[in-house]
């Protein structure tokens, strides 16, 4: 039987590429834009699936693939995909938000603790020999006594909420839709910030959420407030954040993502009130392997092919607003 033809537009582990080549006829998308356009003109009409990571999928890209049925993405976010266009074509989209949620939630809570207890600077305090000279380190803040606003209560946001309940935090959330959960719902992010000691961002990047956290929201959070971003960098207006920090309008922030990563503004790198990590929210060996497995398994299941594993039940990404 002829193998389905899929487009490889994902930087996956080599073992995952080998699995794809075993199951499918794989066409690798050239990295250079002009070459990629010529490649799609030549081969696009026979491509039925895409293994995706960061490649931009817009209307023009989809028009070149009239036989496309499924996109399987090695990511939680789909900000590189024109969701409206894929819906209009009835395409199936798989992502890995349900797989990486636990480790991203762990990272978010770790960052929240690091910034409120000042662990990074406290480590430097010990290593530099200041403890015997300067004495006791300054006091931190207790996340157990904080009001925490979660911006986006999808798979990841819900996992964060589950953890923070165990700490004793008082929780509230905002999103495009009210959820059947036992916590206050806000439809205005500035109002949520005004009533929170900390905002944790888990929402997807879209036109509606680009620079959602602007000067107005940061002002509402206030000089004793904290910001944690494990969503996407452009959700935060970095210029507004830098200006607020320069004016002592925020107590601190923990950022795993940045507006123009991997470039990080020097003003953020110099500021000791910040904890900065290089987009490692889902960066564990276990989760990254499971994500790559899901990319392969989702494609195999869609085309009725017996893959290297038993697929993990029905997709949790039939709702494209899972992380809204």
Catalytic residues: 232, 261, 279
Distance CA 261, CA 112 (A): 21
Alpha carbon distance 210, 99 (integer Å): 25
Q: Distance of alpha carbon 197 from its chain centroid, rounded? A: 22
Residues with Cβ within 8 Å of 14's Cβ and at least 6 positions away in sequence, in order, are none
Residue listed under structure tokens 């409120």: 116
Q: Could you tell me how many helices (H) and strands (E) the chain has, helices first?
A: 13, 12
* Spatial contact of 213 and 183, defined as CB atoms under 8 Å apart: no
How far is C-alpha 51 from the chain's CA centre? 18
Closest CA to 297 of 14, 2, 16, 3: 16
CA 284, CA 267: separation in Å to the nearest integer? 29
Nearest alpha-carbon partner for 230 in 120, 118, 108: 108
DSSP at 15:
H
Torsion of CA 173, 178, 182, 187, to 10 degrees: 40
Q: Residue 221: in which H helix or E strand, if any? A: helix 215-221
Distance (Å, whole) CA 220 – CA 216: 6
Q: How many CB atoms lie within 10 A of CB 298?
A: 26
Nearest to 71 by CA among 298, 312, 307: 298
């Amino acid at each position: 039987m002829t193998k389905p033809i899929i487009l490889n537009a994902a930087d996956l582990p080599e073992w995952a590429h080998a699995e794809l080549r075993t199951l499918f006829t794989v066409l690798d998308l050239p990295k250079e834009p002009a070459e990629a356009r010529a490649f799609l003109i030549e081969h696009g009409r026979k491509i039925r699936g895409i293994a995706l990571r960061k490649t931009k999928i817009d209307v023009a890209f989809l028009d070149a693939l009239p036989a496309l049925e499924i996109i399987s993405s090695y990511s939680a976010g789909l900000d590189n995909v024109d969701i409206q266009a894929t819906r209009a074509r009835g395409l199936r989209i798989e992502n890995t938000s349900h797989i990486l949620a636990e480790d991203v939630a762990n990272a978010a809570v770790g960052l929240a603790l690091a910034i409120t207890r000042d662990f990074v600077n406290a480590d430097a305090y010990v290593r530099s020999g200041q403890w015997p000279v300067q004495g006791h380190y300054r006091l931190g803040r207790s996340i157990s006594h904080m009001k925490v606003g979660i911006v986006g209560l999808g798979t990841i946001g819900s996992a964060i909420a589950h953890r923070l309940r165990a700490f004793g935090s008082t929780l509230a959330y905002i999103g495009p839709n009210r959820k059947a959960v036992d916590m206050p719902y806000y439809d205005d992010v500035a109002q949520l910030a005004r009533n929170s000691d900390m905002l944790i961002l888990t929402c997807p990047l879209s036109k509606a959420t680009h620079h959602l956290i602007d000067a107005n929201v940061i002002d509402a959070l206030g000089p004793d407030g904290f910001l944690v971003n494990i969503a996407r960098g452009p959700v935060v207006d970095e210029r507004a954040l830098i200006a607020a920090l320069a004016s002592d309008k925020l107590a601190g922030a923990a950022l795993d993502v940045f507006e123009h990563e991997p470039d990080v503004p020097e003003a953020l790198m110099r500021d000791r009130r910040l904890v900065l990590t290089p987009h490692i929210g889902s960066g564990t060996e276990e989760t990254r392997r499971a994500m790559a497995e899901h990319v392969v398994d989702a494609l195999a299941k869609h085309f009725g092919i017996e893959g290297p594993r038993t697929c993990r039940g029905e997709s949790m990404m039939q709702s494209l607003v899972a992380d809204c």
